[in-house]
Amino acid sequence: MKAVGLHPDVVVVTSRIYQTTATLVRSGGEAFAIDSPILPDELELLPSIARQAGFAVVGCLVTHGDWDHLLARYAFPDAPLGIAESTAARLRNEPGTAQRELRDFDEEHYVERTGPLSLGRPETTQALPVPGHCGIGERELELHPADGHTEDGLAVWIPWARVLVCGDYLSPVEIPWLSERGSARAYLATLRRIAPLVEEAEHVVPGHGTVLDGTRAAAILREDAAYVEALLERGAAAPLPLARRSGAQRRIHAENVTRVA
DSSP 95: T
Q: Is residue 189 scored above 90 in pLDDT? A: yes
Q: Tell me: pLDDT of 120 over 80.
A: no
H helices within the chain, ranges in order? Answer: 40-52, 72-75, 85-93, 97-109, 184-200, 214-234, 247-260
Confidence of residue 4 (pLDDT cuts 50, 70, 90): very high
Asked whether the predicted pLDDT for residue 44 surpasses 70, the reply is yes
What value does the mean pLDDT of the chain take? 95
By the 8 A CB rule, do 71 and 99 touch? no
Q: How many CA atoms lie within 13 A of 224 on its CB side?
A: 32
Query: What's the mean pLDDT in 109-123?
Result: 84
State residue 220's pLDDT score.
98
In the prediction, which pLDDT does 27 show?
96
Mean pLDDT, residues 150-154:
96
Q: What is the pLDDT of residue 1?
A: 85
CATH class of 2-260: alpha beta
pLDDT at site 259? 95
pLDDT at 121 over 70: no
Mean of pLDDT values over 215-227:
98
Kindly report, residue by residue over 228-245, the tens digit of the pLDDT: 999 999 999 999 999 999
Q: What predicted TM-score, i.e. pTM, was given to this entire model?
A: 0.94
Which of the two residues, 145 and 122, has the higher pLDDT score? 145
State how far the Cα of 19 lies from the Cα of 13, in Å rounded to an integer. 9
User: How high is the pLDDT of residue 261?
Assistant: 84
Amino acid at 8: P
Q: Is residue 122 scored above 70 in pLDDT?
A: no
Quick check: 119 pLDDT over 90? no
Enumerate the domain spans of the chain.
2-260
Distances 147 to 130, 143, 190, 193, 258 between C-alpha atoms, Å: 11, 12, 6, 11, 19
Q: Which residues are 33's β-sheet partners?
A: 24, 60
* Cα–Cα distance measured from residue 44 to residue 158, given in angstroms and rounded to the nearest whole number: 26
Distance of CA 261 to the CA centre of its chain: 26
Q: What is the pLDDT of residues 58-107, one digit of tens each?
A: 999 999 999 999 999 999 998 999 999 999 999 999 999 999 999 999 99
- Burial degree of 149 (CB within 10 A; 0-12, 13-18, 19+): buried
Per DSSP, the three-state class of 34 is strand
